[in-house]
């Protein structure tokens, strides 16, 4: 019966007065990819440390700050324990290091000024999460990573203008126009591109880390892990067919939003059926194209896309979904794993 | 009694198992200018074919794709039959051809790559329409052409960067700054400008097509046809008074948003009374100025305004309108024609 | 008992058939800084006239137009009498003069064309206020100065392109990047910076006017006056620590959004407690940084920040605040002064 690693034993940990906080933070890391499971969080954290101890440490810093902020503000305990206040905080911290470090690949240890700045940014995600949850509540749609995207953009701009934060030049290309369009596609474009796409969700320019993250997803949900891989594969395929630059594909830039859209629509917020599988495929293709679109839109102001494309596409495809009788939505509060969502739905159908 | 051409006979067609779909699509074309009438749609389609068979065909393609998407997703039948899933799909298809063709005036036959891309864009409008309808539902305001504007912008950006879609340079000026400010106004500035303003709603750079579209509106509602003409006239007048460039006026660029605002506020979403007529006039003047505003805002990223100004002004003037006792709002579900809205309201007043 | 100057005597004025309108307009001036008190409005208006009779007169023009629009549209009488339809109208009028005048400091008398344009802009804020109030109503958050920001941006763009409105070059720097980063901080950076920050809320480049405005706030609420000063001080401190350019600090640019955030969160929309004081401090620090962020974002299109940062930060921190048990929100309709909010809350706590 227990498809996911962990289960009951871990739920005991979640309630523990002392270890509980660590559990919530690990779930927070897992929630970046929709996995409410501390073992997933631990494996993903390992994938980050494998690429760079700096990124691993800063992810911990971010998730701790934003989760602690929610605790101090006495937010809903159920949401805190499910790691929902942590994932945006971790992502903001990773983004602020990634885009201020001279070497995007390894990151750099932040100055005290930058560390304070990151702490405020991560803390703010807890407030923005609650506000968006309030706004979206009546529409039964989750804030997704929008708190991260909003706070990330707002905090990234200002950082470039404060003397005490020495922001390097943005080393990482953030738009397809910054890549050479004449490079040939090879086998490595594909297998590195897939790994990097998953890695880019956490700003990791390391394809092996990407596959480790897939493993972290798989211990909680096989379907979500397959969706992540399918999303990245379809994105690479679409990008190749439409002649996108090789570098952007092999760096995983076309795929990271598509992979998240695939996890979100592919069984998590919609019961997995043939119809929702097609709907997910549609969303993945659109996410691939629109990553390029948002990147080109943001280029004049030098801002990275972050996961905005995923959020926009997923929101636009989910907010009205109760108007489509061909699909079965799952309310955010009820979404567990694709497997569990499907079991519950078919059980209810049989009984009803 | 039946003021509009069609009426009962056409409602029979709407229910027909085979011809029904064609009826819904023709209504979809008509709904671009708020006319839920297949005869209106047919005349407007004729106006497009008159200007360019390519544009006529692509409008059919777009409206069929988005209406079929709604059918497949099992959306609300009433909305589908009223053509409400079609109009944004038609506009997206027209926009993607207009802004990727070397010759804006006639358009160009799309490649297979672009055709697939357009199909996805048109299909997506069905989802965005439902999402916006869900978001705006409690405020009793319609999505208007926002699904087209959002999907249009998102899909236009990306198109410029895919090798397999050969986007020509944007041949059509999209901002008043791109016109020569020294050209004198003539009589043709006015009569061509009015026709072109109506034509630009459908991306038709043909003033005769514009007047044919007015005819298409008039067969369903005389008031709406008059409003469209008044909107375009007031816009031209305001633009001249404020010294706008002649080319932008005679190309109809100042007027197409103003004409749509005039139809929307002038009897369709507000019962036509002296107070709402003044309110509409206010909205038309503001739409004229703000077209220029949005155009200048979008210029650095090279994006056309589309009908965003109309949507912004109309939303800002309608969302709170139940707070103004001087005006009588009509809920989207009850809005038929200015004539019918007015009859129903005064009948209810007499009876109540 | 009556902590605020005015009180009962003024409420009689508010109901007077003839003088009432003047009272509502003076309250409108006061509402820019959350003071529903005509004496506050009168003192602030004096501060504007002290700096420049042009600005004083244009503020009156704006507040009269937008309040009269609300009266004509038969908006809610309670809202009109509290000055809530006036403050955005006054700000739009001030902004349009400030950014089209060759001399930002004194402003310039508008042409007839510009005066008509300003009248439309001020009138439109009444509609946008009602729409935003409708949208935000279920979330118990006020529109704040967003109607001003939206209408201000939309109307500022277009103005640059109409021949009959001769917009001078934007004389005033609007972003930290436009200041010399090597100038040393002095004592004047601080005391002028604080005064200018308060002055900038009304586009007054005059630090003495700024302190007069604080006096206008103090006659209605000591706490709000202290919050305004604290907000501006913390902003200056944070800007200095993070090495911001001296000119931007002494011109008050870092501080005006922070001061507004301090008034809004510091007792007005949250009952003042140790927890909400810390929350306010957080908001003030973030507003300081994010002013720079929004300024840099808007720089390519040459738009000023206006009070957008204040609105964004305050909304993001308030919309979800009922999810934080550590804080006690005050619904917009119940928010009077920090003093009254606190008295009522503790009275209710004792009784409940």
pLDDT (tens digit per residue) in C121-140 = 999 999 999 999 999 988 88
The span from the CA of A63 to the CA of A19, in Å, is 15
Q: Does C177 touch chain A (CB under 8 A)?
A: yes
**Statement: residue B204 has pLDDT above 60:** yes
Residue B240: Cβ-neighbour burial (10 angstroms; 0-12, 13-18, 19+): middle
The span from the CA of C258 to the CA of C291, in Å, is 8
Rounded to two decimals, the pTM is 0.93
* pLDDT at residue A2, rounded to an integer: 40
**Statement: residue C170 has pLDDT above 70:** no
* pLDDT at residue C295, rounded to an integer: 87
For the ranges A153-167, C140-154, C287-301, the maximum mean pLDDT occurs at: C140-154
Window C:35-64, CB contacts with A under 8 Å: none
**Statement: residue C5 has pLDDT above 90:** no
The span from the CA of B28 to the CA of B34, in Å, is 9
What 3-state class would DSSP assign to B296?
A: helix
The span from the CA of C253 to the CA of C201, in Å, is 9
Which tokens is B149 given?
């504007």
The span from the CA of A149 to the CA of A153, in Å, is 6
User: Would you give the distance in Å from CA B244 to the centre of its chain?
Assistant: 23
- Contact status, residue A110 vs residue A118, Cβ threshold 8 Å: yes
CB contact under 8 A, A120 and C244: no
Q: Does B312 touch chain C (CB under 8 A)?
A: yes
Name the residue with higher pLDDT: C180 or C143: C143
Closest-CA residue of chain A to B133: A320
The span from the CA of A86 to the CA of A125, in Å, is 9
Instruction: For residue B7, name the pLDDT band (cuts at 50, 70, 90).
Output: low
Taking CB atoms and an 8 Å cutoff, what residues of chain A touch C323? Answer: 75-76, 130, 133-134
Q: Does B301 touch chain A (CB under 8 A)?
A: yes
Taking CB atoms and an 8 Å cutoff, what residues of chain B touch C132? Answer: 320
Q: Does C300 touch chain A (CB under 8 A)?
A: yes
Least confident of C24-38, C92-106, C188-202: C92-106
* pLDDT at residue C103, rounded to an integer: 84
**Statement: residue B95 has pLDDT above 70:** yes
Q: Does B284 touch chain C (CB under 8 A)?
A: no
What separation in angstroms does the CA of A164 have from each of A83, A113, A160? 33, 7, 10
Instruction: For residue A3, name the pLDDT band (cuts at 50, 70, 90).
Output: very low
The span from the CA of A90 to the CA of A101, in Å, is 17
**Statement: residue B10 has pLDDT above 70:** no
Q: What is the secondary structure of C250-306 as a DSSP string? A: HTTTTHHHHHHHHHIIIIISB---HHHHHHHHHHHHHHHHHHHHHHHHHGGGT---T
- Contact status, residue A253 vs residue A291, Cβ threshold 8 Å: yes
Over range B131-145, report the average pLDDT. 93
**Statement: residue A34 has pLDDT above 50:** yes
Closest-CA residue of chain C to A133: C320
CB contact under 8 A, A242 and B138: no
CB contact under 8 A, A127 and C243: no
Over range A79-101, report the average pLDDT. 95
CB atoms within 10 A of CB A22: 17
Over range C63-77, report the average pLDDT. 97
SS (H, E, C) chain A: CCCCCCCHHHHHHHHCCCCHHHHHHHHHHHHCCCCCCHHHHHHHHHHHHHHCHHHHHHHHHHHHHHHHHHHHCCCCHHHHHCCCCCHHHHHHHHHHHHCCCCCCCCCCCCCHHHHHHHHHHHHHHHHHHHHHHHHHHHHCCCCCCHHHHHHHHHHHHHHCCCCCCCCCCCCCCCCHHHCCCCCCCCHHHHHHHHHHHHHHCCCCCCHHHHHHHHHHHHCCCHHHHHHHHHHHHHHHHHHHHCCCCHHHHHCCCCHHHHHHHHHHHHHHCECCCHHHHHHHHHHHHHHHHHHHHHHHHHHHHCCCCCCHHHHHHHHHHHCCHHHCCCCCECCHHHCCCHHHHHHHHHHHHHHC
- Contact status, residue A153 vs residue A294, Cβ threshold 8 Å: no
Percent of chain C with pLDDT over 90: 74
Option in B117, B120, B131 nearest A319 (CB): B131
- Contact status, residue A75 vs residue A85, Cβ threshold 8 Å: yes
What 3-state class would DSSP assign to B138?
A: helix
Which tokens is A103 given?
């070497």
Over range B296-307, report the average pLDDT. 83
CB contact under 8 A, C131 and B319: yes
* pLDDT at residue B9, rounded to an integer: 59
Taking CB atoms and an 8 Å cutoff, what residues of chain C touch A300? Answer: 300
B21-53 residue pLDDT tens: 999 999 999 999 999 999 999 999 999 999 999
The span from the CA of C84 to the CA of C32, in Å, is 9
N-term to C-term CA, chain C = 23
Quote the mean pLDDT of chain B. 91
Which tokens is A57 given?
């440490």
* pLDDT at residue A159, rounded to an integer: 77
CB contact under 8 A, C162 and B318: no
Mutate to test the interface with C, among B139, B181, B246, B324 (most CBs of C within 10 A): B324
Over range B88-94, report the average pLDDT. 98
**Residue whose pair of structure tokens reads 């706490």 in the numeric block:** C223
CB contact under 8 A, C120 and B285: yes
- Contact status, residue B263 vs residue B289, Cβ threshold 8 Å: no
The span from the CA of B347 to the CA of B148, in Å, is 36
What ipTM was predicted for this assembly? 0.91
Name the residue with higher pLDDT: C163 or A284: A284
User: Would you give the distance in Å from CA A106 to the centre of its chain?
Assistant: 19
**Statement: residue C169 has pLDDT above 60:** no
**Residue C226: in which H helix or E strand, if any?**
helix C222-241
CB contact under 8 A, A293 and B158: yes
Mutate to test the interface with C, among B316, B317, B326 (most CBs of C within 10 A): B316
Closest-CA residue of chain B to C153: B293
CB contact under 8 A, C326 and A129: no
Q: Does C139 touch chain A (CB under 8 A)?
A: yes
Quote the mean pLDDT of chain C. 91
Over range A4-32, report the average pLDDT. 79
Which residues make Cβ contacts (< 8 Å) with residue B328, sequence separation at least 6? Answer: B270, B271, B273, B276, B345
Taking CB atoms and an 8 Å cutoff, what residues of chain C touch B327? Answer: 73
Q: Does A178 touch chain B (CB under 8 A)?
A: no
Mutate to test the interface with B, among C75, C131, C136, C163 (most CBs of B within 10 A): C131
Over range C280-294, report the average pLDDT. 94
Option in A244, A320, A326 nearest B162 (CB): A244
Taking CB atoms and an 8 Å cutoff, what residues of chain C touch A74? Answer: 324-326
**Residue B80: in which H helix or E strand, if any?**
helix B77-81
* pLDDT at residue A1, rounded to an integer: 35
**Statement: residue B351 has pLDDT above 70:** yes
Phi, psi of A315, deg, nearest 5: -60, -50
Question: Looking at CA atoms only, how far is residue C146 from chain B in angstroms?
Answer: 12
* pLDDT at residue C308, rounded to an integer: 96
Angle at B9 (CA atoms; ends B341, B61), nearest 5 degrees:
85
The DSSP symbol for B52 reads: -
CB contact under 8 A, B163 and A177: no
Residue A180: Cβ-neighbour burial (10 angstroms; 0-12, 13-18, 19+): exposed
Neighbours of chain A (3+ CB pairs under 8 A): B, C
Over range B336-348, report the average pLDDT. 94
Q: Does B300 touch chain A (CB under 8 A)?
A: yes
What 3-state class would DSSP assign to C118?
A: helix
The DSSP symbol for B110 reads: P
CB contact under 8 A, A292 and B161: yes
What 3-state class would DSSP assign to C329?
A: strand
Closest-CA residue of chain C to A113: C242
**Statement: residue C248 has pLDDT above 70:** yes
CB contact under 8 A, B317 and C162: no
Nearest to C116 by CA among C100, C93, C91: C93
């Amino acid at each position: 019966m227990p498809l996911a690693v962990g289960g009951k034993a871990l739920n005991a940990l979640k309630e523990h007065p002392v270890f509980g906080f660590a559990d919530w933070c690990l779930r927070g890391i897992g929630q970046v990819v929709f996995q409410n499971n501390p073992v997933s969080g631990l494996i993903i954290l390992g994938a980050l440390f494998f690429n760079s101890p700096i990124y691993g440490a800063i992810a911990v810093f971010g998730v701790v700050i934003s989760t602690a902020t929610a605790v101090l503000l006495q937010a809903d305990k159920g949401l805190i324990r499910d790691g929902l206040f942590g994932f945006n905080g971790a992502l903001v911290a990773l983004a602020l290091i990634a885009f201020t470090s001279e070497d995007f690949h390894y990151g750099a240890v932040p100055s005290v000024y930058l560390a304070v700045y990151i702490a405020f940014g991560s803390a703010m995600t807890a407030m923005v999460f609650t506000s968006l949850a309030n706004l979206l509540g009546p529409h039964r749609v989750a804030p997704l990573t929008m708190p991260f995207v909003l706070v990330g953009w707002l905090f990234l701009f200002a950082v470039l203008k404060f003397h005490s934060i020495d922001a390097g030049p943005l080393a990482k290309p953030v738009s397809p126009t910054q890549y050479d369009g004449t490079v040939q596609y090879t086998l490595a474009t594909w297998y590195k591109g897939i790994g990097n796409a998953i890695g880019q969700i956490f700003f990791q320019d390391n394809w092996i880390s990407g596959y480790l993250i897939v493993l972290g997803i798989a211990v909680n949900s096989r379907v979500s892990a397959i969706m992540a891989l399918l999303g990245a594969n379809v994105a690479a395929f679409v990008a190749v067919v439409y002649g996108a630059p090789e570098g952007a594909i092999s760096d995983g830039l076309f795929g990271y939003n598509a992979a998240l859209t695939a996890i979100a629509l592919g069984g998590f917020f919609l019961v997995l059926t043939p119809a929702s599988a097609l709907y997910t495929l549609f969303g993945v293709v659109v996410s691939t194209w629109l990553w390029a679109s948002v990147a080109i839109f943001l280029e004049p102001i030098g801002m990275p896309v972050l996961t905005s494309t995923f959020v926009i596409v997923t929101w636009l495809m989910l907010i009205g979904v109760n108007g489509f009788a061909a699909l079965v939505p799952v309310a955010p509060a009820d979404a567990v794993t694709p497997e569990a969502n499907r079991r519950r739905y078919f059980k209810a159908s049989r009984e009803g």
